[in-house]
A = this chain, B = another copy of it.
Amino acid sequence: MRLLTLSALLVASVASADEGMWLFNDFPTAQAKQSVGVAPDAAWLDRVRLGSLRLANGCSASLVSADGLVMTNHHCIRGCLEDLSTPERDLLSTPFIAKDRAAEERCQKTEANQLVRITDVTERVLEATQGSSGADYQKKLKAEQARLESGCAQGDATKRCDVVTLFHGAKFHLYEYRRYQDVRLVFAPEFSMAAFGGDPDNFNFPRYGLDVAFLRLYVDGKPRPSPERLAWAKEPAKEKDPVFVSGHPGNTDRLLTVAQLEYQRDVALPYSIALLSELRGRLDEWLKAHPALGNVGRSRLRSVENSLKAQRGAQQALAEPSFFAKLVSAEVELKRKAPASTLAGWDSIAEATKALRGLALEYRLKERGDAFNSELFGHARALVRHRAEKAKPNAERLPEFTDARLPGLTQSLGSQVPVSKELEIATLSWSLQRLREALGADDAFVRSVLGSATPLEVATQLVEGTGLADAKRRLELLDEKAFDAATDPLLAFAKKVDADARAIRQKVEAQVDAPQKKGNELLAEARRTVLGPVGAPDATFTLRLSFGRVQGTATAPAMTTVEGLFTRATGKAPFALTEPWLKVKPSLKAAELKLPYNVSTTNDIIGGNSGSPLVNAKGDVVGLVFDGNLASLGGRYGYEPASNRAVAVHGELIQFALMRVYGAKHLAEELLRR
């Protein structure tokens, strides 16, 4: 990590060689060549970019056959498996193997995006916002982004266009995606094999996760021809092999100032960890008490546990004095060398952070929804805001309600996924209780929300009374007249709390985002002056490429084997093997037992990279990233080459599982077809 190694640049350029989630349109080919001996050229980069996909729910994926076959993680499509499950067919406990195209079933909530073009629009954005600051700057920025996005999408629902803010606002790129909304399930192993080792093994290595799933893109009811697909590698990846990860890291914070890092360590992370810890406990006990409703909540629990572990890892990294001291001394060093004109940047950010300390609680509760933990409330708020924003010119709307975002909104509102009213009442009443706890029973907002009722009464009345559990009804309410005529209690509730939510959002934009933005521009200038051309920008859930090698750590090997899986299995969840594995076991040959299972690599990744293809020097698939190790959780703030590792399912294991365990020879062959 650059900040960590300022005072030892030479060492750093060796030690942190594999750091960086690089932009495809600004890839450091020479550095990759020097570090791993491979120099991807423009054609290589284009091919891998087009073979990579983003799943709208926060995952990565890749095109792996000419017939639109898509590879991603099982944990990325667990929601779909739950939605397609019925009392008679539980797709979490049994594998799903479509024997042919007709048997492939649509994942209602899944959308895949392919990045077809990147355009640098920095000049246009800077021009449009020049000379402005504060709320004015935000308004102009939003307006220009909306103009650029609408101009790109042109109302075409098969396109998605996003202006991506890079380097905290030093650069702006326009990303144009092709959207695929008909995505069908092709193959998924049992949940217990995908997540073998469960929460205890999550973020650990050695590891035995078969966290793989296959989908297929459809257009007009037919598989989408995909000549740009990534080929399956002929040679399996071995220790020390150079490997690349092409995917969508969600978020890193490697350019934060010390004031911001302190805020993360002392306020933001402790808040989230406490929140998630309580939610985890509640969901787990709730599931025990409502086994019949289990599927709806289990995926939620899993995602909460995953976030919790990730945030705890990040907090622990910052709590480590030596790690934090390095970040502090890097800042001291940078400030010492920075042009005097840029020093105000740190003050500006400190000011923003101080303001945030005062606003964050209310912001999280009212605007970010911590007080309204309910899917139905989310729909209600979306409808209320859609109604209000649609009346404004496109450029003046909240960014999530511009015309360019309408297709996404429509899809989300139209989702056929059933809602558990019991779980909705449980989480909504809990979050209302937290609201009262956090702001106090005498707070005016709390009183307007609860009146003299209890949180449980309010939640029950809203959830039982609303018609928003019906997707058709929600879509109808996009219409102005239907909305205005509606008497839904949840819509009324969402309307009632909206002014306060918008007010705190505006405060945060004016008092936090604006000075932060201003500060970041000055810091970017300082970094450019002191460090020369900047490296990779912080992750933004947009496509990045990282290079590295297959490699273990001081305490863990580079790979595990099929044999290791059988040794580790205890017969009890989360270490229990499923029937197909127990059945195949006696027939396995020595060579098969030695096959690699999971693999650890030095690639710099983070949450959002789940489902990314692991490719070799040729750009061919050798594995499927599904996790990082514990040390990778500190990767949010910095990359530590000695310990930070990506964790992938080995390509050979995927072939083995399809052919030998699950009887899906046709899929194994489709992958190998050239």
Residues of A at the B interface (CB closer than 8 Å) are 197, 199-201, 204, 206, 262, 265-267, 269-270, 273-275, 277-282, 284-286, 288-289, 312, 315, 318-319, 321, 426, 433, 436-437, 440-442, 451-454, 457, 570-573, 575
Contacts and interface: CB of A to CB of B under 8 A. Distances in A.
A452 B312 contact: no
Contact of A199 (B277, B281, B319, B437): B437
Nearest to A259: B321
Nearest to A354: B321
A454 B573 contact: yes
Contacts of A284: 282
A354 B433 CA distance: 39
Nearest to A309: B437
B440 A200 contact: yes
A664 to B, nearest CB: 29
A570 B319 contact: no
A200 B436 contact: yes
B441 A197 contact: yes
B267 A319 contact: yes
Nearest to A282: B281
Contacts of A279: 281
A605 to B, nearest CB: 21
Nearest to A270: B270
Contacts of A570: 451-453
Nearest to A284: B282
29 contacts: A197-B441, A204-B440, A206-B442, A266-B315, A266-B319, A269-B270, A270-B270, A270-B273, A270-B315, A273-B274, A273-B277, A274-B274, A277-B281, A278-B278, A278-B280, A279-B281, A280-B281, A281-B282, A285-B286, A285-B426, A289-B289, A441-B575, A451-B570, A452-B571, A452-B575, A453-B570, A453-B572, A454-B573, A457-B572
Copies of the chain in the assembly: 2
A281 to B, nearest CB: 3
Nearest to A436: B200
A289 B287 CA distance: 10
A318 B433 CA distance: 26
Contact of A277 (B278, B436, B441, B451): B278
Contacts of A206: 442
A315 to B, nearest CB: 6
A516 to B, nearest CB: 17
Determine chain A's interface SS by DSSP, over half rule.
Answer: helix
A513 B426 CA distance: 45
Contacts of A451: 570
A84 to B, nearest CB: 28
Nearest to A288: B289
A206 B273 CA distance: 30
Contacts of A282: 281-282, 284-285
Contacts of A269: 270
A266 B262 CA distance: 10
Nearest to A451: B570
Given A315-B270, A321-B262, A440-B204, A572 B452 contact: yes
Contact of A274 (B267, B277, B433): B277
Interface centre among A265, A281, A575 (most CB of B within 10 A): A281
Interface centre among A441, A573, A575 (most CB of B within 10 A): A441
Contact of A273 (B273, B437, B573): B273
Given A282-B284, A286-B285, A437-B199, A274 B454 contact: no
Nearest to A630: B440
A496 to B, nearest CB: 18
Interface centre among A279, A312, A321 (most CB of B within 10 A): A321
A144 to B, nearest CB: 36
Contacts of A288: 289
A280 B285 CA distance: 11
A498 B269 CA distance: 35
A361 to B, nearest CB: 10
Contacts of A280: 278, 281
A244 B213 CA distance: 69
A320 B91 CA distance: 49
A106 to B, nearest CB: 34
A440 B437 CA distance: 35
Nearest to A318: B266
Nearest to A266: B319
Contacts of A575: 441, 452
Contacts of A440: 200, 204
A452 B567 CA distance: 12
Contacts of A275: 277
Interface centre among A200, A284, A426, A451 (most CB of B within 10 A): A200
A289 B290 CA distance: 9
Contacts of A573: 454
B270 A281 contact: no
A204 B282 CA distance: 25
B285 A454 contact: no
Contacts of A201: 441
Interface centre among A279, A437, A453 (most CB of B within 10 A): A437
Contacts of A318: 266
Interface centre among A206, A285, A288, A318 (most CB of B within 10 A): A285
A437 B305 CA distance: 11
